[in-house]
Amino acid sequence: MAETQIERQIDRSHMTVSDEVAIQITAMNKWFGTFHVLRDINLTVNRGERIVIAGPSGSGKSTLIRCINRLEEHQSGQIIVDGTELTSDLKNIDKVRSEVGMVFQHFNLFPHLTIMENLTLAPIWVRKVPKKEADEVAMYYLEKVKIPEQALKYPGQLSGGQQQRVAIARSLCMKPRIMLFDEPTSALDPEMIKEVLDTMIELAEEGMTMICVTHEMGFAQAVANRVIFMDQGQIVEQNEPYEFFNNPQSERTKLFLSQILGH
Amino acid sequence: MSEHHSAAYVRSAMLPEQAPPVSEIGVIRWLRENLFSGPLNTFLTLAGSFILYFLVKEYYPWLRHSVWHAGSVGECRDIVTATWGEGATGACWAIIRDRWNMFMFGFYPREHYWRPTLALGLLIFAAAPVLFAESRSIRMVVLGIVAAFLLVAFPGLGVGAAANLMLAAALAAMLVVAWSRPWGLLWLTGIYPGLAVWMLWGGSVWGPVLAMSGFVLGWAAWLATRRFGTILSVGAAVLVPVAWWLFGVEQVLPLFDAVLPYSIDAVRSEKFGGFVLALTIGVAGIVLSLPIGVVLALARRSDMLLVKALAVGFIEFIRGVPLISLLFVASLLLNYFLPPGTNFDIILRVIIMVTLFAAAYIAEVVRGGLAALPRGQFEAADSLGLDYWKAQRLIVLPQALKISIPGIVSTFIGMFKDTTLVVFVGLLDPLKGITDSVRASFEWKGAYWEPYIFVGCIFFIFNFSMSRYSMYLERRLKRDHR
Ligand SMILES: Nc1ncnc2c1ncn2[C@@H]1O[C@H](COP(=O)(O)OP(=O)(O)OP(=O)(O)O)[C@@H](O)[C@H]1O
Ligand SMILES: [Mg+2]
């Protein structure tokens, strides 16, 4: 299955994991109605970590990372992001959301706004950055994701890979301290997958704290410092990538890896 | 034939371009594709041609025999007979010429005809920053036509030369502003509601000024209470102006009138009629029902049970009853509930009912637009930290309203036509009220078709313009490039 070769040399000089805790999830449970979708999740993410979450479809990966910025509400346990606990307090939620960037499988760009407007909207309206400054920041990130020439187009005029890079840039314009990715490459053709992965690798090289749900095991091996395997709403196994791929412990993990890597 | 075909092939000569066969070009092709593409289409074409022929044969003579100058129906008939022979029929448009002012203004005082005319012209100027902000050329063409229309119409309405010169200067200044900046006339948009009310009904200038100042008060209340939370500040922004309108204005008005009296002749609502009435109700209804409808649509999708229940209850109730029953409520029942002696203007009452009626339909149309937005749009807005109102205003509504444009404009058109129903509460709508009262006169008794056709044409012009505008808007906003 998905196995895009990561050919580039990874610069690991800034990829340092600090002792500071970025996300702390303790004994978290979530139900959709009567369906127990996340069961007793305990997870600590330190600043600078690059975590890949893998698992079969329906195992709750998306739901887990969506809980981290409260797109989904958990029913028990605790989620603390950057020292702020997620409760029903709207102030806390908005604070966490403006600190945590999220990239979706289907990009979710705003089709009625130009690329530039997509990028500057949240900085201007949430962070109250002056428009000129927001424009400069937006241009900086567009150059970073290598599509500055598309600034005045509308999302519908861009290819999927370009749109996803815009979506990443849009999140980065809010200067987030944590980035969440929910299968950012699953809706893309192979060449486009590579451009998006490149962008994500660059982000990792700069020391961004990242949690990625992805089936790109090449990316996991090259960039992640930890791989988490989920099944049936639970964290079944986690390990550093080399061990995870070469020496999986649980039967479920072995089965999953054999399916996904086609061994 | 050889045993096996060779896969290799090389073209030795390139073919020159050739003219297409006759059946593939020009008129013949168009006819074949559009009118005679199959048995059914051919049949429909022939049937349609026959009906068209029949209609023209029956009615064209009537139109060709039109009489434009006559003093009565009888005179019209005499002229037709004299010109086209015994038994000929002809349209008598003289009735429109003769009673033009009646159709347009009802019993509005003749010497003040310029006031509703100016109000209509300024409406387009006030709407320009909203409707034509994007394209300077369209803006200038529309406003230029309106300005020319006003300048041509005004001398005929008995406005003096000096006043006309002032008007021309003011229009020219506004055209320059509109040319230089898309939103240059936004100040006019802001004051227009008060200005229009004052022009139409007249009276002391302070009434509309103080009423409009309610909005400023509401805004100030919102700013002052903003840091105490959304619910409180929205509450203050609504309650302060309402209290001002209900109790404050009454107290302060005499004071202003005493210190700085300025007023023009007052015109009572009973004098309104014809298209002045239809446009007053229609425009007010359109402008007011859109925001109310949007709020209702959002409320109906709200997570808050009470808000949602209220919205659903209101929308379903309004949609469940005929507009006429609401108008009857406005004209009769409200009088029982209001304290005796209160003079609650009949046109205002009708506007409120028409607005609520249209708002319920708009709410449903907009709800359809909201439902059509993918969930990802809401999630992207949330994940960027936009709060509910910002997400609605910047992300959700622009897209949902764009989807809803055809439905919204349909509702507006329907509502504008429904303004003719006010005849049932004793107002002189152009279609029945005016037509009946014109026909009640001795001279024009028996003229049936012409007034209806004329009124229908005027309605068509307004509604067709709205329809074209909505198509222009849809094209302009088409940005998803799907
Ligand atoms: N809003 C919802 N309401 C009810 N059930 C839901 C909802 N969202 C997800 N589920 C269910 O919860 C389970 C976990 O869904 P989730 O999207 O987290 O899985 P996933 O691991 O991301 O799968 P995939 O790899 O297919 O994206 C699935 O069984 C799904 O059907
Ligand atoms: Mg998923």
Tell if the CB–CB gap between A174 and B477 is shorter than 8 Å.
Answer: no
| Contact across the interface for B383 and A98, Cβ inside 8 Å | no
Residue of A nearest to B481 (CA): A156
The answer to whether A97 contacts B394, with C-beta atoms less than 8 Å apart, is no
Ligand 1 center–CA A110 separation, angstroms: 24
Residue A125 has pLDDT above 60, yes or no: yes
Residue from the list B383, B402, B482 with its beta carbon closest to the beta carbon of A71: B383
Q: Does the pLDDT at position B375 exceed 50?
A: yes
Strands A100-103 and A21-32: unpaired
**Mean of the pLDDT values across residues B398-403?**
93
Q: What is the CA radius of gyration of chain A?
A: 18
Contacts of A90 in chain B (CB under 8 A): 387
| CB-CB under 8 Å, A156 with B387 | no
Contact by Cβ (8 Å): A6, A219: yes
**pLDDT reported for residue B305:** 92
Per-residue confidence band for B5, with pLDDT thresholds at 50, 70 and 90: low
Asked whether the predicted pLDDT for residue B22 surpasses 80, the reply is: no
Interface test with A, best of B303, B382, B384 (most A CBs within 10 A): B384
Lowest mean pLDDT among A2-11, B32-41, B122-131, B292-301: A2-11
Quote the ligand 1 centre to A70 CA distance (angstroms). 15
Overall average pLDDT of the B423-446 stretch: 89
When the pLDDT of each residue in chain A is averaged and rounded to a whole number, the result is 92
Query: In this model, does residue B448 exceed pLDDT 90?
Result: no
Distance, CA A76 to ligand 1 centroid (Å)? Answer: 18
Average pLDDT estimate for B22-37: 80
Q: Give the residue whose CA is nearest to atom 18 of ligand 1.
A: A60
Q: From the candidates A110, A141, A183, which should be mutated to test the interface with B, based on the most B CB atoms within 10 A?
A: A110
Is the pLDDT at B225 greater than 50? The verdict is yes
pLDDT value for A14: 85
All structural domains of chain B, each given as residue ranges with its CATH number in brackets, are 110-202 (no CATH), 204-264 (no CATH), 272-482 (1.10.3720.10)
Angle at A197 (CA atoms; ends A196, A198), nearest 5 degrees: 90
> Is it the case that residue B333 has pLDDT exceeding 80?
no
Burial class (CB in 10 A: 0-12, 13-18, 19+), A234: middle
Q: Greatest CA separation found in chain B? A: 114
pTM: 0.87
* Pocket around ligand 1 at a 6 A CB cut-off: A 32, 35, 37, 55, 57-63
Tokens representing B475?
Answer: 């094209």
Residue-level pLDDT at B415? 94
Q: β-strand A50-54 against A76-81: which pairing, if any?
A: unpaired
pLDDT of A100 over the 80 cut = yes
Q: Residue A234 C-alpha to ligand 2 middle, in angstroms?
A: 14
- Cα separation of the two ends of chain A: 10
Q: Three-state SS string across chain B, please? A: CCCCCCCCCCCCCCCCCCCCCHHHCHHHHHHHHHCCCCHHHHHHHHHHHHHHHHHHHHHHHHHHCCECCCCCHHHHHHHHHHHHCCCCCCCECHHHHHHHHHHHHCCCCHHHCHHHHHHHHHHHHHHHHHHCCCCHHHHHHHHHHHHHHHHHHHHHCCCCHHHHHHHHHHHHHHHHHHHHCCCCCHHHHHHHHHHHHHHHHCEECHHHHHHHHHHHHHHHHHHHHHHHCHHHHHHHHHHHHHHHHHHHHHHHHHHHHHHCCCEECCCCHHHCEHHHHHHHHHHHHHHHHHHHHHHHHHHHCCCCHHHHHHHHHHHHHHHHCCHHHHHHHHHHHHHHHCCCCCCCCHHHHHHHHHHHHHHHHHHHHHHHHHHHCCHHHHHHHHHCCCCHHHHHHHHHHHHHHHHHHHHHHHHHHHHHHHHHHHHHHCCECHHHHHHHHHHCCCCCCCCCHHHHHHHHHHHHHHHHHHHHHHHHHHHHCCCCCC
Query: In which band, very low, low, confident or very high, does the pLDDT at B374 lie, cut at 50, 70 and 90?
Result: very high
Q: Taking CB atoms and an 8 Å cutoff, what residues of chain B touch A94?
A: 385, 387
Q: 3-state SS of A228-244? A: EEEECCEEEEEECHHHH
* pLDDT at residue A70, rounded to an integer: 93
Tell me which chain A residue has its CA closest to the CA of residue B403. Answer: A112
Q: Would you state the torsion angle of the CA atoms of residues B97, B100, B103, B105, taken in this order, to the nearest 10 degrees?
A: 180
* Contact between A126 and B382 using a beta-carbon 8 Å cutoff: no
Residue A263: per-residue pLDDT: 54
pLDDT score, position A181: 96
Q: B463-479, pLDDT tens digit by residue?
A: 999 999 999 988 888 87
Contact predicate A197/A228, CB 8 Å: no
- For residue A170, the SS3 value is helix
Q: Is the pLDDT of residue A162 over 90?
A: yes
Task: Report the percentage of chain B scoring pLDDT > 70.
Answer: 96
Structure confidence at residue B290 (pLDDT): 95
Q: Which residues of B touch A157 (CB under 8 A)?
A: 481
Most confident of A61-70, B181-190, B256-265: A61-70
Reading the block at residue B246, the tokens are 């209900």
Query: What percent of chain A lies above the pLDDT cut of 90?
Result: 82
Bridge partner list, A29:
A76
The A76-81 sheet, strands edge to edge? A35-46, A21-32, A76-81, A84-85
Relative to the alpha carbon of A61, which ligand is closest?
1
What pLDDT does residue B342 have?
67
Cβ–Cβ pairs < 8 A, chains A and B: 73
Cα dihedral B166, B172, B175, B176 in deg (nearest 10): -120
Predicted confidence at residue A64, as pLDDT, reads 96
Nearest CA to ligand 1 atom 9: A63
When the pLDDT of each residue in chain B is averaged and rounded to a whole number, the result is 89
Mean pLDDT calculated for residue range A177-186: 94
pLDDT at residue A1 above 50?
Answer: no
Give residue B2's pLDDT. Answer: 52
